[in-house]
Amino acid sequence: MLDTTTPGGRLVFHVFAAPAEFIRVLIVQGTNEGLEVARVRRARPPAMTEEQIRHARDLLTRPGNTVTSIAKLLGVSRHTFYKYVSELQGGRAALIETAGVPALPRPAQSAE
């Protein structure tokens, strides 16, 4: 048994406690570094590359293509498509005009 009421007992206690505390700090530090590395490794890559985004914008300027068909072609959801092609918030006509292509007039609605 260790008597910590004497100066020698306190010295022995501190001699044993110091390396244990040092090892504990090293374990906590290593654990935190490992958790950070795991967070970085699990980060998801972008769903669409810059090339896919350019291709999508090009396809959108063509009148026969829909957002759904382009998203299927690129293998992404419509939500992801809208997220990466942010200029669609202004509508397809705004995208076509920013691409330098004049927007086609909409057909007149019949009053039947």
Question: Which of 64, 83, 63, 80 minimizes the C-alpha distance to 72?
Answer: 80
Residue carrying the six token digits 């076509």: 96
Q: Are 95 and 61 in contact (CB under 8 A)?
A: yes
- Between residues 102 and 40, the one the model is more confident about: 40
What's the pLDDT at 32?
97
Dist. CA 9–CA 5, nearest whole Å: 7
Lookup: tokens for 31: 């654990």
Domains of the chain, residue spans: 1-43, 50-98
Is pTM, for the whole model, over 0.75?
A: no
pLDDT in tens, 7-43: 999 999 999 999 999 999 999 999 999 999 998 888 8
Query: pLDDT tens, 63-98?
Result: 888 889 999 999 999 999 988 887 776 555 555 555
What SS3 class is residue 107? coil
